[in-house]
Amino acid sequence: MNDKKILLIYTGGTIGMVKDYASGALRAFNFDELLKNIPELNQLDCSIDTVSFQEPIDSSDMGTSDWVRIVEIIEAYYDSHDGFVVLHGSDTMSYTAAALSFLLENLSKPVILTGSQLPIGDLRTDAKENLITSIQIAALQERGRSVIREVGLYFEYKLYRGNRTTKINAEHFQAFASLNYPHLIESGVHLNVFKEYLLPHKKNRKPKFHKQMDENVAVLKIFPGLNQRALDGVLKTEGLRVLIVETYGSGNAPTADWFIDSIKMAIKNGLHVINVTQCSGGSVLMGQYETSTQLKKMQVISGKDITTEAAIAKAMYMLGSDVSDALFKTVFETELRGEMH
């Protein structure tokens, strides 16, 4: 019985690409062909509708307006469908997953992003398993309710919380990691759901589809040899409202006067400065070392164990939601969608 209705949203990426034999480059192909390539989809216990971006894109071209487009599609089909699978290039999939997690508030249905390392037409493709299992996860229900009620990212036998992921490998099929949060589902002979890690269900909350993202955000990765001109160049960016500083280890940065004074002045002038670690795992803990004590004193915002991808999305979402300057630090340091601890 085809009782569950799943909407497949095709945005682009390797999963739907073919090789242009003249140039050797991969280019997007027609979405109808994607379904033709996987006749197995017809055997699934659900009906599948599809919506495609008019111009499927490589995910390097994804921007905030594309995120909003995905939100609008999900909003339009939210009541009529039980779950959503977003086919997306893997390069920026973690950013989109994080952005959607903030833009889609109070989800009671799954939104699963997936893609592949090899095109769907390739003999050794990872696309089929990723796509088929993502659809099964999107259709998964218990006592009439969706099991997953958040934005997830499915790749190579694991479902992760989307806003906890990072792309860590351009070669391996296991392209993603979620170093600060356990995966939510493991696909083996059975789909093993780790219920204790799912976002708790909020009763009687209506879904909200947010559509504003403010792009006045920049990221600065600290490195030995970073000089004042480079720092000042970033700080002088016109209209900049949030600077995410990727620091060392547990949130440590140079203690040189020019560095501390520039950041202090920028904060005084209204810039929100967020401390995230450039380590793949672990958390910012300002004050643990002398090299972060100053940052803590001048009210630098702690990103705790958030990924840089999620920090960017959260900052853009909060600026877009008009969170007041006075509340910005408190709200950023609060977990909104399971993105930090």
Q: Please give the backbone phi and psi of residue 242, each rounded to the nearest 5 degrees, phi first.
A: -135, 130
CB of 61 to ligand ASP, least distance (A): 8
Residue nearest to ligand ASP as judged by C-beta position = 89
Per the CB < 8 A criterion, the answer to whether 254 and 230 are in contact is no
Number of Cβ within 10 Å of residue 206's Cβ equals: 7
Nearer to ligand ASP, 169 or 299 (CB): 169
Residue 101: burial class (beta carbons within 10 Å; 0-12, 13-18, 19+): buried
Please tell me which residue in 11, 14, 165, 277 is annotated as part of the active site.
14
Q: Closest approach of Cβ 168 to ligand ASP, in Å?
A: 13
Three-class HEC string of 60-86: HHCCHHHHHHHHHHHHHHCCCCCEEEE
Placement of tokens 């100053």 in the chain: 294
State which residue, 58 or 333, has the beta carbon closest to ligand ASP: 58
Least distance in Å: CB of 176 to ligand ASP?
11
Has 14 been annotated as catalytic? yes
What is residue 221's three-state secondary structure?
Answer: strand
Q: Which is nearer to ligand ASP, 58 or 122 (CB)?
A: 58
Continuous segment of H or E residues that includes residue 24: none
Q: Which residues bind ligand ASP (CB under 6 A)?
A: 12-14, 58-60, 89-91, 115, 117
Phi, psi of 67 (to 5 degrees): -60, -45
Identity of the residue, 12 or 110, whose beta carbon is nearer to ligand ASP in the bound complex: 12
167 contacts: CB under 8 Å, gap ≥ 6:
90, 91, 93, 94, 175, 176
Residue 90 Cβ vs ligand ASP, minimum distance, rounded to whole Å: 3
The rounded distance, in Å, linking the Cα atoms of 161 and 183 is 7
Nearer to ligand ASP, 92 or 250 (CB): 92
Q: Rg of the Cα trace of the chain? A: 21
Exposure of 13 in the CB half-sphere (CA atoms within 13 A): 23
In the complex, least distance from residue 307 CB atom to ligand ASP, rounded to whole angstroms? 17
Report, as residue numbers or ranges, the catalytic residues. 14
